[in-house]
Amino acid sequence: MKNYLKHDEWCIIEEGFHREYNEITESVCSLGNGRMGQRGNFEETFTGKTLQGNYVAGVYYPDKTRVGWWKNGYPEYFAKVLNAANWIGIKVEIEDEILDLNTCEVNDFTRVLNMKDGYLERSFTATLKSGKQVRVNSKRINSIVDDESGVIRYSITPINFDGKIVLTPFIDGDIKNKDANYDEKFWEEIQKETAFAEGYIELKTKKTGFHVLTGQRFEIFQNGKSVDFQGFPIKAEKFVASQVTLNVTANEETVLVKYACNLSSENHHVDDLLLKSKAYLKRIAAKGFDKMVAEQAEKWASKWEMNDIMIEGDVAAQQGIRFNIFQMNQTYTGEDARLNIGPKGFTGEKYGGSTYWDTEAYCIPFYLATADQQVSRNLLVYRWKQLGKAIENAQKLGFKDGAALYPMVTMNGEECHNEWEITFEEIHRNGAIAYAIYDYVNYTGDKKYLAEYGFEVLLGIARFWAQRVNWSEAKKQYVMLGVTGPNEYENNVNNNFYTNYFAVWCLKYVIEATEYIKSTDEARFNELATITNFDETNEFGKFQHIIENMYFPASEELGVYLQQDGFLDKELIQVKDLPAAERPINQKWSWDRILRSCFIKQADVLQGMYFFEDDFDLATIKRNYDFYEPMTVHESSLSPCVHSILAAKLGDKARSYEFYNRAARLDLDDYNNDTEDGCHITSMAGTWMSLVKGFGGMRVRDEKAYFSPFVPENWASFSFKVRFGGNLLNIKTTSDEVIIENLAGGDTSIFLYGEEQVLAEKSTLTVEQKDAVAV
């Protein structure tokens, strides 16, 4: 755990240059707008530890699979969102010496990510080897208003000399992914153009053929006045620049304003990219830096208005939750139904920017409560569109008759993860995808979704489960063999409780959804039955038999469900007894040792109890929690939030808070020693869940919202906003009272501590705080 970023309610602040942590700070200071994003890299040359990262949403490459021993059924490729042209670059030369914070003395350094207004700012004084000193300030945004662009204001002031500086704003398209399987470059150059103060480069991805045109246009000011300069255009392979030599005087500021855009063939016709880029840059340059920054702040203000969470009395926690909300909003806006949410968003390359079960299990609840209903709907429809590929994927593994296995990792519906224990066995993802449909319908009341899109997905998934289980003569029950549960520290296990439970739930839910569709829209049901070749009597007959006869491993003696068959044969030791030097075990232990140990990477049985809490009594949840949590190492970022919610439900406020904090500050404090790979974007939605579902006790049942909030000990109060049933509610909890405001959307009613309360529009209800647990 690191503690070098300053605590502040709205900003992430690095004071003093922490060279050794630079890649972590770059991840944390990433900017994004749903269409493009980049890490908090420096504009000028930096030869130290860095991962230069620029990403354009939807632009990926199917990197050929790398495995030691090929197995039938392996996906041919591992898709990755490509590290794209670097548009922020500005080379700075001071009398022939390159400004590089790795080689000069750096003083008064600050790097600040301002989450309120959505910009990144950096200031420092550099003393070069020659003894020349300059003061630099750079500020940039990745515009959420003009979402294919960014703008930088780069200011440089000589402190102790008069002389010449050379500024070379550039676009470098000769970029490689750090995680390329064969060290290959994925971009080809199509065209480039330079002018005095402009430059354009069009690149195309190999194989997938996406075109991205990155353009720059810049202006220079000295002492506040525009400078009439002659830029010297430079072209090299996949590289364009314009070099400007300027006379500078001590203590006089030179400012370069660089506008840049990334236009992709996903959004524009290929033939138009160059012309459109020119027009785009002309338009934003006419707007100007100040206006773009002001518009950015305004748009962020409207976002915060809808989904800010305020915590009084704990600055670190306040910063943590805002950081999570900020990054979620930077990653996915829901405006483009073709896009999804990579576990690292635009902050790094790990996980290839692909779609995981994280979207359904963690992100959908966040967007359901904080964004327009359409956003979650788009995420669901994304999977519906990929149903054909999920059916093909299942066929490749030998399933038939419309059984669908959604991929664990995907860009376009095809599976592209290449570890067998994940691709073939971590099939629980199918459950989360079905559950998200339930979650959406339950939260929004949009039951029509079931007939429109939901049914086909649910049926495909249910068919898969029905074929994936088999009848065990020995047990006289159905079993499911050879799976990997959410706990990836175990592979190829039999009867993973979580997976078995989810399978049965899916079978029940498709039956329930079908009944609803039949009773409300028979014509559509008949249509769907034809499309899916559905034989209700036989198929549901089989589903029902499985529902009634599924095997769930359990220990009667301990009163717990077993994570899988044979779990109790393990040596059951606790995480607290592991020497600190041996953690995280995924970095310190051999894989063999991990697999044989009892240590759990992330919630598994408990993940099931989180999803289906109403199926279990509190005592059962507690026994399972007390049994499994001590063996859980939480080495997946997706783990602490689920435990936080369960601990809250069990009334263990201190633990709930501890898990929450770990989730909320996971990247800011680099808990898992891996933030340099990128931030844990999808787990940030989990942080939000632990606050809203954990401390706020929010649940939705039968189209009603329930709240049972308590305040963690260290906080004076907290408040969160949720959209529910067309209303916008603000729920503030102090140690004495709960104040609920119905901000918009008409009169409504909610349940608070189990009692129904009517809330007229624009009214406020104040009730005594009861320190209760979620009901």
Stretch of 352-360, 373-381, 473-481, 760-768 contacting ligand BGC, by CB under 6 A: 352-360
Interface residues for ligand BGC in 654-683 (CB under 6 A)?
682
Nearer to ligand BGC, 149 or 487 (CB): 487
Supply the minimum distance, in Å, between the C-beta of residue 331 and ligand BGC. Answer: 13
Interface residues for ligand BGC in 30-49 (CB under 6 A)?
none
Annotated binding-site residue? 652: no
Radius of gyration of the CA atoms of the chain, in A: 27
The token duo for 300 is 């962020």
Nearer to ligand BGC, 119 or 497 (CB): 497
Options 351, 551, 561, 599; binder of ligand BGC; rule CB under 6 A: 351
Nearer to ligand BGC, 638 or 752 (CB): 638
The residue whose two tokens read 């140990």 is 597
Which of 198, 426, 456, 488 is flagged as catalytic? 488
Supply the minimum distance, in Å, between the C-beta of residue 358 and ligand BGC. Answer: 5
Options 53, 320, 343, 352; binder of ligand BGC; rule CB under 6 A: 343
695 backbone dihedrals φ, ψ, rounded to 5°: -70, -35
Stretch of 53-61, 111-119, 306-314, 349-357 contacting ligand BGC, by CB under 6 A: 349-357
Nearer to ligand BGC, 53 or 486 (CB): 486
Annotated binding-site residue? 318: no
Supply the minimum distance, in Å, between the C-beta of residue 328 and ligand BGC. Answer: 14
Q: Helix 289-307 crosses helix 273-287 at what angle (to 10 degrees)?
A: 90
Stretch of 75-83, 145-153, 350-358, 389-397 contacting ligand BGC, by CB under 6 A: 350-358
289 backbone dihedrals φ, ψ, rounded to 5°: -60, -50
The token duo for 500 is 């078995």
Supply the minimum distance, in Å, between the C-beta of residue 594 and ligand BGC. Answer: 13
Tell how far CA 204 is from the center of its chain: 26
Annotated binding-site residue? 447: no
DSSP per-residue codes, 604-661: SHHHHHHHTGGGS-HHHHHHHHHHHGGGB---STTHHHHHHHHHHHTT-HHHHHHHHH
Nearer to ligand BGC, 356 or 534 (CB): 356
302 backbone dihedrals φ, ψ, rounded to 5°: -70, -30
Which residues have CB under 8 Å from 716's CB, separation 6+?
A: 312, 313, 734, 735
737 backbone dihedrals φ, ψ, rounded to 5°: -140, 165
Supply the minimum distance, in Å, between the C-beta of residue 606 and ligand BGC. Answer: 14
Q: Does 638 bind ligand BGC (CB under 6 A)?
A: yes
Rounded to whole angstroms, the Cα distance separating 385 from 407 reads 13
Nearer to ligand BGC, 210 or 424 (CB): 424
Q: Which of 249, 599, 542 is nearest to 401 (CA)?
A: 542
Residue 548 bears catalytic tag: no
Options 22, 410, 602, 687; binder of ligand BGC; rule CB under 6 A: 602
Stretch of 122-130, 354-362, 725-733, 744-752 contacting ligand BGC, by CB under 6 A: 354-362
Which residues have CB under 8 Å from 328's CB, separation 6+?
A: 363, 366, 681, 684, 685, 688
Supply the minimum distance, in Å, between the C-beta of residue 408 and ligand BGC. Answer: 7
Options 147, 358, 669, 670; binder of ligand BGC; rule CB under 6 A: 358
Nearer to ligand BGC, 423 or 682 (CB): 682
Residue whose Cβ sits closest to ligand BGC: 343
Nearer to ligand BGC, 171 or 600 (CB): 600
Residue 584, preceding peptide bond in cis (omega within 30° of 0):
yes
Interface residues for ligand BGC in 678-707 (CB under 6 A)?
682
The token duo for 340 is 């999804």
Q: How far, in Å, are 83, 107, 148, 268, 592 from residue 35 at the CA level? A: 14, 35, 7, 13, 41
Supply the minimum distance, in Å, between the C-beta of residue 356 and ligand BGC. Answer: 4
Supply the minimum distance, in Å, between the C-beta of residue 422 and ligand BGC. Answer: 9
Supply the minimum distance, in Å, between the C-beta of residue 409 and ligand BGC. Answer: 8
Options 280, 357, 406, 498; binder of ligand BGC; rule CB under 6 A: 357
DSSP single-letter state for residue 65 = P
The token duo for 747 is 């009169």
Nearer to ligand BGC, 91 or 350 (CB): 350
Interface residues for ligand BGC in 276-315 (CB under 6 A)?
none
DSSP per-residue codes, 429-455: HHHHHHHHHHHHHHHH--THHIIIIIH
Supply the minimum distance, in Å, between the C-beta of residue 21 and ligand BGC. Answer: 22
The residue whose two tokens read 């606050």 is 691
Stretch of 81-89, 144-152, 351-359, 625-633 contacting ligand BGC, by CB under 6 A: 351-359
Rounded to whole angstroms, the Cα distance separating 133 from 163 reads 12
Nearer to ligand BGC, 193 or 419 (CB): 419
3-state SS class at 560: strand
Using CB under 6 A as the binding criterion, the count of chain residues that bind ligand BGC stands at 12
Interface residues for ligand BGC in 455-514 (CB under 6 A)?
486, 488
Q: Which of 428, 436, 306 is nearest to 364 (CA)?
A: 436
Rounded to whole angstroms, the Cα distance separating 444 from 611 reads 18
Sign of CA dihedral 76, 79, 85, 89: negative
**366 neighbors 688 (Cβ within 8 angstroms):** yes
Q: Which of 538, 398, 564 is nearest to 468 (CA)?
A: 398
Options 119, 161, 356, 478; binder of ligand BGC; rule CB under 6 A: 356
Annotated binding-site residue? 300: no
Which residues make up each annotated binding site for substrate? Answer: 357-358, 601-602
Residues annotated as part of the active site: 488
- As annotated, the binding site includes 357-358, 601-602
**Which parts of this chain interact with ligand BGC (CB under 6 A)?**
343, 351, 356-358, 486, 488, 601-602, 636, 638, 682
